[in-house]
Structure 1
Amino acid sequence: MQRILLLKNKTAQKDKYETTFQSYGFEPVFVPLITHTHVPQDLLQLLENNAYLAQLQNIIVTSQRTVECLYESVLPRLEAPAKQSLLQKTVYAVGPSTSDFLMRIGFSNVKGGSDAGNGSILADIISSDISSQFPKPEPLLLVGEIRRDIIPKKLSSAGILVKEVITYKTANMPDNLIRFQHHATEGSWVVFFSPQGTEDIIEFIKKANYKIASIGPTTQEFLKKKGIKPSVVSFKPDEQNLLNAIISANTGSI
């Protein structure tokens, strides 16, 4: 059984990377590198404003961490009418995992998902949907404290302004390299999901025999700058495309 080291936090409720890789005979092991702290106060204050909630049409979510904040720290604290109203809003999500998670917690109109593998593509989808509306609605963009500004910049160029609200903060966990070494075995696959928290691990794996996978081109470019060429890059940022890439590499078909 080949080990797959997933350098990420395990998703609350159900993590599809775990179930998908297990179903194909791999041994997925999560090695979380960063801690997440929910900061729901600003969002709650906004959503408890009945006038704002009534006019809100679109929400943008780029991370499963934001969905966890909604599920654990926002929805349970809203009054029933506000909760029902929120769950009926159109939500634009990056990637299928985030989209699926949103639907599992009760959002009924989720767009993007598997059709939006990154923020730039999602911004194009949003712009196509609402740029012709007048007056243009102001989407609510829910983000982490550390984030890229691709979506607001691209939407702004299309005349669409967004309201950004931070929903979580992140920090590197202590002893990332020690915990990685504890789980790593010769010939393991190591999957990088983002640059954050990986510095010590990158220096270590340069001297070791691991197969490297990147979840997408942004992380791939980061790894290349650090002197590491990934064996595979997932075609889309989801568990099935990552699995397919790794299986192809293992069978020598790429």
Structure 2
Amino acid sequence: MGGPNFPPILLLKTKSSPHDGYDEFFSAQNYIPTFVPVLSHNFHDENLGQIKTLFESGRLNTGPERRYGGLIFTSQRAVEAFADMLAGLDQSLTATASHSLPLYTVGPATARSLTTLRDTHLPHATIHGADTGNGENLATFILDHYNRLFSDPATSISGDEVKSRKPPLLFLVGETRRDIIPRTLMGESMPVSKRIEVDEVVVYETGVVAGFEGEFERILKIHDDTTVVWAVVFSPTGCDAMVRVLRREEDIKRRERGGRKVFVATIGPTTRDHLVKECGFQPDVCAAKPSPEGVGEVIAEFMTSLDGQ
């Protein structure tokens, strides 16, 4: 896939540091990726301070005073906020708390960030769910895995007793998120013994980068002489601004009876559905897996279909 005339690809995200999997993947495929930051993130210091207190008080250690039995992450930003908080703690505290501490995550990119955090601050913790791909699959995985950690086939105990022995999970989130994970884990249709309590704590807040719309339009103008451009969308946030720019592009194209075509790929179904339902905009492709390979695969298939027309 790829070649010297392969179309430009605009990645509507902030480039991750020190390595960005999308930059590495698409550069290796002979694309020239351009990052267009969409989201601004601010850590929620007050809530992170409460989590810091859990470590300092030993409430994440094993034992009768344990407050939480594990943590859930579904975004790299939550991992970054958590890592920033851990950096200010004595490593002996975090190392002790990491014993028998499962960390649940979704998607390979978040798992890579979490692995770096684990290796630095939580050496005894274990990471699970990296291949689940979305929140619904992760919730199903957690129901099986976490319940098995507290099951004892050699004894016969009631559902209420199992529930009392099983500490809740702490879910570190942004202020905008879907509720599929807590709704699934705490569902009323679930047997009492299988339910898993979840406490959500907002550790970062998200907004649209000031000037994103103008910057996106400016970068598109750089490619005025290019027939095809790809834009990859990673989040519902900022979709409205992107669509406004693309609709202006379509108006120009109709007036000029030609011009550049901007194709849109989404990282997954949540962003695709937001574009369709909230923006009235149909993206061209949606990745089956939220990864550089997943995005690259659907773009390659689409381009092959264009070549065959």
TM over 0.5: yes
1:16 CA drift (Å): 0.3
Q: Note the alpha carbon deviations across 1:205-246, whole angstroms, 9 max, x for none.
A: 134420110111111112223232222110111111111111
**Aligned equivalents of 1:87 and 1:242: distance in 2?**
34
Q: Note the alpha carbon deviations across 1:161-214, whole angstroms, 9 max, x for none.
A: 112222111122111111111222342101111111221220221344201101
Q: Kindly provide the amino acid, as one letter, of the partner of residue 145 in structure 2.
A: D
1:90 CA drift (Å): 1.1
Give SS of 1:51's match. Answer: coil
Q: How does 1:1-254 map to 2 (within 5 A)?
A: 1-39=6-44, 40-54=48-62, 55=66, 56-71=68-83, 73-88=84-99, 89-105=101-117, 106=119, 108-114=125-131, 116-131=132-147, 133=150, 134=162, 135-157=165-187, 158=190, 159-184=195-220, 185=223, 186=226, 187-206=228-247, 207-208=249-250, 209-225=261-277, 226-252=279-305
**Aligned equivalents of 2:116 and 2:40: distance in 1?**
23
CA contact (8 A) 1:6 1:30 kept: yes
1:23 CA drift (Å): 0.5
Aligned residues: 252
CA contact (8 A) 1:69 1:167 kept: yes
Q: Kindly provide the amino acid, as one letter, of the partner of residue 83 in structure 1.
A: T
**Aligned equivalents of 2:13 and 2:273: distance in 1?**
18
Higher-RCO chain (CA-CA 8 Å, sequence separation at least 6): 1
Change (3 A) 1:179 1:86: farther
**Aligned equivalents of 2:219 and 2:114: distance in 1?**
31
**Aligned equivalents of 2:93 and 2:199: distance in 1?**
19
CA root-mean-square deviation: 1.9
Q: Kindly provide the amino acid, as one letter, of the partner of residue 111 in structure 1.
A: H
CA contact (8 A) 2:136 2:181 kept: yes
Larger Rg: 2
**Aligned equivalents of 1:152 and 1:117: distance in 2?**
17
TM superposition score normalised by structure 2? 0.76
Q: Note the alpha carbon deviations across 1:134-177, whole angstroms, 9 max, x for none.
A: 22231111111222211111100142111222211112211111
Q: Kindly provide the amino acid, as one letter, of the partner of residue 275 in structure 2.
A: L
1:11 CA drift (Å): 2.0
CA contact (8 A) 1:16 1:239 kept: yes
1:19 CA drift (Å): 0.5
**Aligned equivalents of 1:140 and 1:82: distance in 2?**
18
**Aligned equivalents of 2:11 and 2:42: distance in 1?**
21
Give SS of 2:105's match. Answer: strand
CA contact (8 A) 1:61 1:94 kept: yes
1:34 CA drift (Å): 1.6
TM superposition score normalised by structure 1? 0.92
**Aligned equivalents of 2:176 and 2:274: distance in 1?**
16
After the TM superposition, which parts of structure 1 deviate over 4 Å for at least 4 consecutive aligned residues? none
Q: Note the alpha carbon deviations across 1:12-63, whole angstroms, 9 max, x for none.
A: 3211011011010111111111211112222212222213443343110010
Give SS of 2:25's match. Answer: helix
Q: Kindly provide the amino acid, as one letter, of the partner of residue 215 in structure 2.
A: R
**Aligned equivalents of 1:35 and 1:45: distance in 2?**
27
**Aligned equivalents of 2:59 and 2:166: distance in 1?**
17
**Aligned equivalents of 1:125 and 1:7: distance in 2?**
30
